[in-house]
Amino acid sequence: MRITLAQLNPVIGDFEGNFSIIKAAVKKAISSGSDLIVFPEMIVSGYPPRDLLEREDFIQAFTKSEERLVNLSRETKDLAILAGTVCSSPGNGEKGLVNSAVLFHNGKRLFRQDKTLLPTYDVFEEARYFDPATIHRICPFGAEKLGITICEDAWNDPELFPRQKYSINPVDRMSKLGATIFINLSASPFGLGKDAIRYRLFGKQALKYRKPFIFVNQAGANDDLICDGRSMVFDETGQLLWIGPAFEEAVHTIDLRSKTVPVAFTPMDPLADAHDGLITGIRDYMRKCGFGKAVLGLSGGIDSAVTACLAVQAAGSDRIIGLSMPSAYTSESSITDARELALNLGISLHVVPIDSAYQTLCESLKPFFPSGPMDETKENIQARIRGIIIMAFSNKFGYLVLTSGNKSELSVGYCTLYGDMSGGLSVLSDVPKTMVYELARHINSRHAWIPESILTKAPSAELRPDQKDQDTLPPYDKLDAILSEYLNGMTRDDLIEKGFDGKTVDWVIDAMMKSEFKRRQAAPGLKITSKAFGTGRRMPIAQKWTG
């Protein structure tokens, strides 16, 4: 059987546009003599549509798209189309909807398999919208019997995941029903190291059941979620026959009847992966939300430098604008570094000093605030003036504002609401400060864009004389280590037993818990790790837990 894998990048809710990319992929499959083309999970609407699934008109659009796929399959003759969509629940399902894979062939809906395992952890909320499959069947097709699963359905192998989330293993059930080929339609989000997990998972299942395994994944980003593609084909011995490109669309045909030479699997380098994933996130957020240009503050610091470099690679230097907003506390070296970075990147840089606005505001507040040395209120006034200026550029010209706060700062609230947090997309919100430096070195290994002085200077918000981040925060290597362990489930006592200083641990946990209200108001951030802030983290604001 010749099977075409269509690793595509749909836009959520763009049924017309998504059908166009489906049709283009079908045309390629026909030209390659394919018997079957397989699309990702919910390719018809794009994934994840979230509460759009609660709109009746949105569901009706699925029905119309299905009719178009029926008609398309009538035109394709010998080629069958397996696509992810949404259907009405059979019987009396509580939600009324199922996440489905439907096989279209010769103008008919030949087969349908609904998704069984509906994840509700991290960024997933599928049980909120869908009913689980009540029936498992295999699909006779030509000389084969297709065992069709959808994303999570293939992630419950007890040999790889001893702590089972579900009592059902759909792949095992379909094997017992006589499946000769396993096909998994996915919209599996990107995470550092996830390519290696998928390789082990699907390869071992192919070997375990002695059947070929085909994994077709979505590519591209929607909001905070980035799908990395990397679709895979394994033979019945668990050998990898093909792997799709990372973060890009691909339409590839493979003949399972012929002897294909296995390819070596090389895990992606984490830095290169993070770099390319963030570029994908910026690129698709701008394109899918209709932003022609983006603007960001260039402070002369490492975070804004890395953000600017990623943005230029995502959109092009002619579509990125930098703002330098110096105050009386901004060092001359920071101004020079920002200017040199902009010159290296080839982007426009506008200088808008904030000192006069700052002095005016301080004078206006003088009757109400006692005079005294620089304090947090005065520091935050400066940050908020910058927020006003950058949002003014956004309002006036329709630019997307990119914020550059990193995960370390966001974790402990070392950021200013309505100041440096103002914006439309938070690029580095899932990138710890230590990784920001690593990304900068990685970028410079390809392009000598970031001045060395930015890489070597001590981090500072420059909101008061001689300010340094480490005046307030623990050293970033220690802070990031504690945050990583705590976010992944370690307790306070575990951290102390591991050797971290007790006072530092208590300060970090306390600061993290108290800063939830800030994160709730932050711009959406691009997710690249298994534990990101945003849609996957559901913490109360009013609470007392510091365990």
Catalytically annotated residues: 41, 115, 151
CB–CB of 271/259 below 8 Å? no
Q: What one-character-per-residue DSSP string does 488-504 give?
A: TT--HHHHHHTT--HHH
Give CA torsion, residues 438, 442, 447, 450, to 10 deg.
0
CB–CB of 487/532 below 8 Å? no
Q: What is the largest CA-CA distance in the chain?
A: 85
- Cα 411 from Cα 514, distance rounded (Å): 10
CB–CB of 193/267 below 8 Å? yes
Strands 36-38 and 80-88: what pairing? Answer: parallel
Residue in the block written with tokens 């119309």: 64
Class of residue 92 by CB neighbours under 10 A (exposed 0-12, middle 13-18, buried 19+): exposed
What type of residue is 138?
Answer: I
191-213 burial, b if ≥16 CB within 10 A, otherwise e?
A: bbebbeebbebbbbbbbebebbb
CB–CB of 242/208 below 8 Å? no
- Cα 76 from Cα 389, distance rounded (Å): 55
Class of residue 238 by CB neighbours under 10 A (exposed 0-12, middle 13-18, buried 19+): buried
